[in-house]
Structure 1
Amino acid sequence: MRKHVIVTVFVFLLSTVALSSLCYGTDELNLSATVLVTGFEPFNGYNVNPAQLIAESLNGQMINNVSIVGLSVPVEWNESISVVTQAVEDVKPIAVISIGLAPSSWFIRVEKIGLNIRCMPGDNGKRYVFSKVEPDGPPLLVTDIPTHYIAKEIRKSGIPARQSFFAGTYICNNLFYGLLKYKQDSNPDLKVCFVHVSPLKSMDLKNGMSLEEMTKAVKLVITLILEEMN
């Protein structure tokens, strides 16, 4: 009888441990987080875009136990916003870091402000037409990530970087503003960051950076945002 009781207790304890392990595994799965990294496709006659190369290289990587999903984005006014916001709906990331190319920049630019403005070529290709990204949106939206601090930390790593207050009036700013508006309207907890990178050395020997340097900078941006969220 005593032996039977001991066996019963042992089986009960073993079952409890197994059930706890299963529950723990489920919790870990539910607690897993994702960061979405987007990069624009080539434009303006370039054969490559380092922004796209960085996003593709980070796809599938883990940073601080967070999964990275990389996404290529078309250089299109409306489609760029819809493609990324749909990816946010599908992937449900805690942060989205969008990357664009600043052809004349020799340093990493961490953008602070998205402007509600588009500057599009007119019919003759010479005159420009100005319009809004969002007809009913505010004139500007400001990201809540610590851009000054992030730029400073990138510089500390040996890579030139600055905080920027002007993301331009082209599709980079268009996407940045669109994501900030999406955050404001639909996903207030989402962290939104836009990073402008330099051209590759092969694109501009004077102002260019290596792909390794720029990828390192973006990985540092992700790390710092995750640390700030914790």
Structure 2
Amino acid sequence: MKNTSKTILVTGFSPFPGAPVNPTRHLMMRLPKRLGPHQFGVEFVFQVLPTTWAGRNEVTARLRGEINPDAIVHFGVDGTRRTMNIETRAVNRGTRVRPDAAGVSLARPELGERSERTRLSGLPARALRDAARTAGAPANLSTDAGTYLCNATLWDSIGSGIPSIFIHVPSLPRGKSDRRPSYPVIEEAAVRLLQEMARRLK
């Protein structure tokens, strides 16, 4: 049973094909040490999600039901991005070409009923972007969460009725000439973003 305090579920993903090192998995280990269990009286619950289509129901939906959070902030990696992207929209579409970490492809291209095309985040995206920028991280708003599990996870969470948002982070930089933000910058941006979210939710 949920207590009277507010709760934010924060998730990252395990490694998957194309991303053998997933910085969001590391975030889920580091953020509890940085933030502690509470900020502004709001409780955080941190979880690593499997990067599998089956995990949508077996793990992610179960977590939503057990924790019953007041808000959800998902983190995921996108190797094509060079900035943090605050995803404000999920689309009713999933790729059938790209297999998940278990080697399984999505059975059908739609995530839900065909009549529903998009779902919008109900969380303060601009404020979270601005909080990330105070850490020196390049951060932008985005309406393109892709068609892989990042988009599907946001689609499911918004559809559950819980205010949700997805934060894409870039892959870690390779060498001094790589302009992508370093992991410490991403971590500090995540800390400030979550503090802002807690401050607004209290």
Q: State whether TM-score is above 0.5.
A: yes
Higher relative contact order (CA 8 A, sep 6+): 2
Structure 2 unaligned spans of 5+: none
What corresponds to 1:206 in structure 2? Answer: 178
The percentage of aligned residue pairs carrying the same residue is 23
What corresponds to 1:114 in structure 2? Answer: 90
Give 1:68's match in structure 2, choosing from 29, 41, 44.
44
Quote the Cα distance in structure 1 between the aligned partners of 2:98 and 2:86: 30
Compared with structure 1, are the counterparts of its residues 171 and 155 closer, same or farther at alpha carbon in structure 2 (3 Å cutoff)?
Answer: same
Q: TM-score, normalised by structure 1?
A: 0.73
What corresponds to 2:61 in structure 1? Answer: 85
Q: TM-score, normalised by structure 2?
A: 0.83
State whether residues 136 and 189 of structure 2, in contact with CA within 8 Å, keep that contact through their aligned partners in structure 1. no
What corresponds to 2:152 in structure 1? Answer: 174
The number of aligned residues is: 193
What corresponds to 1:10 in structure 2? Answer: none
Structure 1 unaligned spans of 5+: 1-28, 184-189
Compared with structure 1, are the counterparts of its residues 157 and 134 closer, same or farther at alpha carbon in structure 2 (3 Å cutoff)?
Answer: same
Give 1:54's match in structure 2, choosing from 21, 27, 37.
27
Compared with structure 1, are the counterparts of its residues 157 and 215 closer, same or farther at alpha carbon in structure 2 (3 Å cutoff)?
Answer: closer
Structure 2 letter corresponding to 1:40: F
* Alpha-carbon offset, residue 83 of structure 1: 1.3
Quote the Cα distance in structure 1 between the aligned partners of 2:166 and 2:40: 20
The structure carrying a bigger helix percent of its residues is 1
CA-atom RMSD in angstroms: 2.8
What corresponds to 1:38 in structure 2? Answer: 11
Runs of 4+ in 1 over 4 A off after TM superposition: 202-205
Higher-Rg structure is 1
State whether residues 6 and 201 of structure 2, in contact with CA within 8 Å, keep that contact through their aligned partners in structure 1. no
